[in-house]
Amino acid sequence: MNRYIGISLNDDYTCICINDKTVSRFQPTVIAKDKTEDKWTIGEDAYKATLAGSGVIVDKLLSLLEKNGTATISRVKYKAIDILARYFRELLGKDSNKTEDDIVAITIRKPNRDIVSKLKEAMIKAGVAEDNVYIMSHTESFAHFVLDQDNSLFNRMVGMFELNNQCLYYYEMHVSRGTKRYVMVGSEAEDEAFSLDILKTTSGGKIADKILTTVADRVMNNKSYSAVFLSGRGFQDTNFATNFMNYICKRRRVLIEPGMFAIGAEICVRNKAEGKNEEYMILCDTRSRADVSVKVTLNEKSETLPIVRAGESWMDTSSCYEMILDDQDYIDFQVTSISKPQRPLRLRMMLDTFPERDKRTTRIRMSTEFTDADTLKVTVRDLGFGDIFPASDKEIVEEIDLSEK
Amino acid sequence: MALLLCNKGARHPFYYEQLDIDLWSIQELSYVIYRYPVIIPSEFVDHKLTAWLRDELNMGILAARLEQFMMAGDDGNQERLLLMILRESNYYTQAEISRFESEYKKLKNIERHVFLNMLGDTYLRMGKYGRAIEAYEESFFLNTDFNVEMKLAGTYVTVMQYQKASDLYEEVFIATGSDEALKKLYFISKLEPSVDTIEKYIENIGVDMLANWELLYNEVQAVAEQSDRVREIHEIYQKNRSAFREHSKIMILKWKREYRAKI
């Protein structure tokens, strides 16, 4: 039987949701290895083993992975990827004898191509099939979570506060129900983040309440919301935040789900596995916000060749096409923003530094790849025309700015 | 003006013997068919070509259709097969393909010596001088045409076989009294002084004509001296003699290779 698993991962804690979108559990992102045998424990058990003196603990696993770090335990040097693979194996209860298919989505705050490939590698080493691993941002998993709720909760704008240790984020989701149904999701870090340790005292709780109320007043202003969500370990108990709760509950529905990101990720993989199409195109930090295409000719007919489709994950989007220049020394790109009702932007990439040849005897290879969410790198290489007109090996690289300035 | 979308090229090329060239894509195949129809052999579209289309270019449907027509074995099949390739290549327009069709039909109906003359011209344009010589010789053998003989002699000059060229120009001059043949003999003597056939006919050349030829030869030589290749060699010679010697070895090897390729 398939297991649908959502994992929200950061240096501090891991939240996991398996097969049930109403249940999630938190545990510290730490792993310990027994000093005498090859036995690994994670979370609270790792702390216990370390306190008992039987284990050596490794923490801040995500940062370790980002830095390509290593950890030496009992004179053995482990790479960050291998430690994280161990961590995932323990987290998922992976046993080499089990044959169940896990479909896993990991959500982290700021995915980039490098960390995504490392996380995938670690998860594959942990025993999950490559095609069953997805990586997304918190923003995207928030969108999946909200879109899985009742329609009335997102018929206007949706807000969300995330409170974790030294981490306070505000998220906003706008829904468009026009001809193109899409949601735009964004998030911002608030400067007033604080340590959750202050919630242990009454006076600290009051300070936290005041901070949250001030932030809510600033970011929500007089905007109209369908619902406001609260997430993160800081909102597991909201008794400390009386004023904040009073403020956000005014004429709005407020829902608390501390494990929202893990649940959103679980919903995403479940929908993928069940072949459900996204009813709304999600435009966020991991998705392209514009369509990019090139006009080409096929059998004497002009056709639009899509290079990038809005709503696609930019990290997984790359293309490679071969074309022949027929009496032209440029490529025209058409960029269509989904969220802005304006005419498509036309951008011309000049290829006039390639050698001049007879008509239709210059073949080019055009490769595209995102360098970040807003920048599409286009590389065009001169292939000549086989052995008839040898290639010059010249290459032209340009970047298309897709940000909506 | 357009960008023609194409499939990825083959991993292994198709060797086109007539051109002594490797073809890597359907567009290159179409290009050589369209541009050099004279050299297309009668059994050009065969199972070797269809296997290449299927295995290397993933054009299984085209390969199957070609094979189906090949099995039918009708007259004029070759023309139909070539047109099918051109249509599937997304390279030539329908108008261009129609033009090719009519020219290919004309080619089929011309006399053999005319065909061979055209074949020689095609090979000459492609720099395949050995094959051009063969074609011109056969054409001249079938039909005595001094224009063809002039082309044959010119091709011999290109491959630096001055004595053969000189004999042919002399034949043309004796038969037609052509000044052009005499001029060529004069230039051969300038290029290769040991081939001095022109001495026999020097009385036939007027002073003005000789002066003009001399001027023409000097002009061409001056242009050649200013060419990039000459300038490059000269610069290397000026800079460093030992580097020049090394460069000379490479250049001579390159020239030898170029010469062999011409033949």
Q: How far is CA B256 from the centre of its chain?
A: 19
Q: A170: which 2 tokens?
A: 């505000």
Interval B16-40: pLDDT, tens = 887 778 999 999 999 999 988 888 8
Choose, out of B5, B35, B57, the residue to mutate when testing the contact with A (most A CBs < 10 Å): B5
User: What is the pLDDT, as a whole number, of residue A98?
Assistant: 53
User: What is the pLDDT, as a whole number, of residue A96?
Assistant: 55
Residue type, A45: D
Which positions in chain A touch B23 (Cβ < 8 Å)?
A: 386-387
Q: Tokens 């129609």 appear where? A: B98
DSSP state of A100: P
* Intrachain domains A3-136 and A140-262 with the same fold: yes
Domain extents in chain A: 3-136, 140-262, 290-401
Return the percentage of chain B with pLDDT > 90, whole number: 45
Residue type, B87: R
Q: Which of A100, A126, A35 is nearest to A74 (CA)?
A: A35
CB distance A296–B5 less than 8 Å? Answer: yes
- Domain A290-401 sits in CATH at 2.60.34
CB distance B5–A387 less than 8 Å? Answer: no
Which positions in chain A touch B93 (Cβ < 8 Å)?
A: 300
Q: DSSP 3-state helix, strand, coil percentages of chain A (rounded to 5)?
A: 25, 40, 35
User: What is the pLDDT, as a whole number, of residue A95?
Assistant: 65
**DSSP codes joined into one string, A344-361:** PEEEEEE-TTSPP-STT-
- CA B72/CA B78 separation, integer angstroms: 11
- CA A402/CA B94 separation, integer angstroms: 39
- CA A229/CA A8 separation, integer angstroms: 17
Residue A354 distance to chain B (closest CA, Å): 15
Residue B107 distance to chain A (closest CA, Å): 24
Which positions in chain A touch B127 (Cβ < 8 Å)?
A: none
CB distance A324–B6 less than 8 Å? Answer: yes
Q: Give me the sign of the Cα torsion angle B175, B181, B185, B188.
A: negative
- CA B166/CA B188 separation, integer angstroms: 7
Which positions in chain A touch B6 (Cβ < 8 Å)?
A: 322-324, 363
Number of residues that make up chain B: 263
Residue B85 in contact with residue B30, Cβ under 8 Å?
A: yes
User: What is the pLDDT, as a whole number, of residue A24?
Assistant: 76
Neighbour count for residue B60 (Cβ, 10 Å): 12
Question: How far from A193 is each of A15, A143, A247, CA to CA, in Å?
Answer: 20, 23, 19
Neighbour count for residue A35 (Cβ, 10 Å): 13
Q: Which residues pair with A399 in a beta bridge?
A: A377
- CA A300/CA B30 separation, integer angstroms: 16
A92 contact partners, CB below 8 Å, separation of at least 6: A5, A102, A104, A126, A127, A128
Return the percentage of chain B with pLDDT > 70, whole number: 98
- CB nearest to B2's CB, from A305, A328, A363: A328
In angstroms and rounded to an integer, the radius of gyration of the C-alpha atoms of chain A is: 25
Residue A311 distance to chain B (closest CA, Å): 25
DSSP state of B204: G
- CB nearest to A386's CB, from B7, B23, B93: B23
Q: Tokens 């209860």 appear where? A: A93
- CA B186/CA B199 separation, integer angstroms: 9
Does B261 contact A at CB distance below 8 Å? no
CB distance B21–A328 less than 8 Å? Answer: no
Q: B169: which 2 tokens?
A: 């120009």
Q: pLDDT-derived band of residue B50, with 50, 70 and 90 as boundaries?
A: very high
User: What is the pLDDT, as a whole number, of residue A404?
Assistant: 67
Interval B70-110: pLDDT, tens = 887 665 578 889 999 999 988 999 999 999 999 888 888 88
- Domain A3-136 sits in CATH at 3.30.420.40
Instruction: Decide: helix, strand or coil at residue B103.
Output: helix
Q: How far is CA B89 from the centre of its chain?
A: 25
Is the ipTM higher than 0.95? The answer is no
CB distance A386–B24 less than 8 Å? Answer: yes
Q: Are strands A157-164 and A225-231 parallel, antiparallel or unpaired?
A: parallel
Mean pLDDT of chain B: 88
Burial class (CB in 10 A: 0-12, 13-18, 19+), B159: middle
Residue B223 distance to chain A (closest CA, Å): 23
Q: Chain A to chain B, count of Cβ pairs less than 8 Å apart?
A: 76
- Closest residue, chain A, to B11 (C-alpha): A386
Q: A213: which 2 tokens?
A: 């109320």
Which residues of chain A, if any, have pLDDT below 50? none
Q: B173: which 2 tokens?
A: 């001059």
Mean pLDDT of B120-142: 89
Q: Where are the alpha helices (DSSP H) in A221-283?
A: 242-248, 260-273
- CA A316/CA A303 separation, integer angstroms: 24
pLDDT of B263 above 70: no
Interval A340-398: pLDDT, tens = 777 888 899 999 999 998 889 999 999 999 988 889 999 999 999 988 888 998 999 99
Q: Which of A249, A117, A363 is nearest to B23 (CA)?
A: A363
Q: Tokens 């018929």 appear where? A: A155
Residue B8 distance to chain A (closest CA, Å): 6
Superfamily in which the A140-262 domain is placed by CATH:
ATPase, nucleotide binding domain (3.30.420.40)
Interface of A with B (CB under 8 A): 294-300, 302-303, 305, 321-328, 331, 360-361, 363, 383, 385-388
Does B32 contact A at CB distance below 8 Å? yes
- CB nearest to A322's CB, from B8, B21, B31: B8
- CA B28/CA A388 separation, integer angstroms: 8
For residue A404, the surrounding DSSP H or E stretch is: none
pLDDT of B252 above 60: yes
CATH classification for the domain delimited by B112-225, as one of 3.20.20.70, 1.25.40.10, 3.40.50.720, 3.30.540.10 = 1.25.40.10
Which positions in chain A touch B31 (Cβ < 8 Å)?
A: 360-361, 385, 388
Does B36 contact A at CB distance below 8 Å? no
Residue B92 distance to chain A (closest CA, Å): 9
Q: Give A321 or B204, the one with higher predicted confidence.
A: A321
Does B7 contact A at CB distance below 8 Å? yes
Q: Give A157 or B259, the one with higher predicted confidence.
A: A157
CB distance B25–A388 less than 8 Å? Answer: no
